[in-house]
Amino acid sequence: MHRTMRRMAEDVVTMEKIVALCKRRGFIFPASEIYGGIANTYDYGHYGVLLKRNVIDAWWQAMIGDRNDIVALDSAIIQHPRTWEASGHLEGFTDPLVDCKACGQRFRADHLQDLQCGLKPSKHPGETPQCDLTEAREFNLMFETTIGPVKEAGATVYLRPETAQGIFLDFKTVLGFARKKPPFGIAQVGKSFRNEITPGNFVFRTLEFEQMEMEFFVPPDDAQEWHEHWLKERMDWYVRLGIRADHLRLRAHDADELSHYSSATSDVEYLYPIGWQELEGIANRGDFDLTQHAKFSGEKLEYFDTASGERYVPYVIEPAAGVGRTVLAALCDAYDEDEVGGGERTVLRLHPRLAPIKVAILPVVSKDGLPERAQEVFQLLRGQMQAEYDEGGSIGRRYRRQDEIGTPFGVTIDHQTLEDDTVTVRDRDTLEQDRVAIDELPATLGARLAAPWESPKLAAA
Ligand code: ATP
């Protein structure tokens, strides 16, 4: 541990390093690259998929594994177009857009201070003498498409800009079979789409992205209390995933920032290398959505308590998180550089729960029967945890590779293994190496993966 202390206390991460690491190791890379890429759209490779899946699994665990008052849903991406009239998105889901007649670029009028003008020397848009910005106009962020074979005659529909509305449309149906009553929630994970004017910062802001949203329906009088409950729950969730608490904060929206449906919203923000930015929004949506959909559809969307005879439209507390932003926060928080054996190494100190690969099985050399023995160890472990077998290249380079993808444990098979059936277990963070009997490996690694984990960066701070 001491070897790496000094370097760990410094925060060496930058967005450029994360982007480069993600590409180098195949976590996340630009989409449509053979055609030159498409603006702010990314593909997730093998390790990215595994990391993302671990984030989503942890969210489901918190929503439906650890509690009994939430049910799951997977609603359609394309809903009836009236949905977006009722929700207010058709009219109000807009950002102010300005064009620059000098450089031909478009900017979000409320983000000018964070953006760079297209001219040199680079300044904020509007700050060079040549800049010629138009008046701001409202631009709707929803992607439009058409149902039907003929574009003109077809019905215009929209790719959902948030997953939440599908939950409100199904409120009555779910209430019918879920055997729940307020306070209860409906959770879903899925893709949403926004035609963002100035996307950027890697997967922080993309055109398509996955959301993890939960609508929690409560008696109106209890809404504030439940809002506070979810603020705390959601902050704790990120800390449980190993994100340093001092890189997380809650920020309450000012009145002029609130969405049209919200009476109170607080964001969970993370200290990304680009500064404090929203990771998740937790809103009190009141009865806005159910009331609107009741009005537009003619269906009664309310709760009737048969015991008390009480009838009311529940209020909704909504924690709405982004998968990509959580993946990015986890990567930024875990990124570290230190020195091992006189050489530089890059290491992702991911919480073992999030690590794409939990254990790497590495024969020290690919001869003398070691690969065969290592394959047996791999077969022993792979059913229990995400394991990876790698015999190519020097052992040092294979360790570096596993460190870069955040694998907490490396199991090395050497000549001694052939004599006494033991292997070496190397710890990514402490670099300690223990000799463990092969038949004890599943239990030993299982216990170490399940043990409470604290970021070594935090310990070093
Ligand atoms: P921002 O102010 O950054 O545009 P928002 O307040 O519009 O975000 P919400 O509508 O509250 O975002 O969406 C909930 C979550 O979905 C966000 O906290 C974020 O994690 C994620 N999200 C929203 N838009 C995007 C996007 N374009 N790319 C990636 N993730 C997004």
Does pLDDT of 3 surpass 60?
no
Return the residue whose CA atom lies nearest to atom 1 of ligand 1. Answer: 278
CA of 278 to the centre of ligand 1 (A): 7
pLDDT at res. 1: 35
Mean pLDDT of 302-309: 91
pLDDT at res. 205: 95
pLDDT at res. 9: 45
Residue recorded with tokens 């009476």: 263
Atom of ligand 1 nearest to the CA of 207: 27
Return the residue whose CA atom lies nearest to atom 6 of ligand 1. Answer: 281
Give the C-alpha separation, 87 to 301, whole Å.
14
CA of 329 to the centre of ligand 1 (A): 14
Does pLDDT of 2 surpass 70?
no
What is the best residue among 87, 248, 253, 278 to mutate for testing ligand 1's pocket, by most ligand atoms within 8 Å of CB?
278
Mean pLDDT of 404-422: 98
Beta bridge partners of 386: none
- Residue 368's pLDDT band (cuts 50, 70, 90): very high
Residue 404 vs residues 46, 47, 98, 236: alpha-carbon distances, Å: 14, 11, 41, 27
Does pLDDT of 372 surpass 90?
yes
Mean pLDDT of 229-239: 98
CA of 243 to the centre of ligand 1 (A): 19
CA of 208 to the centre of ligand 1 (A): 11
CA of 322 to the centre of ligand 1 (A): 7
Nearest to 226 by CA among 283, 175, 275: 283
H or E stretch covering 50: helix 46-60
Q: CB of 325 closer than 6 A to ligand 1?
A: yes
pLDDT at res. 10: 55
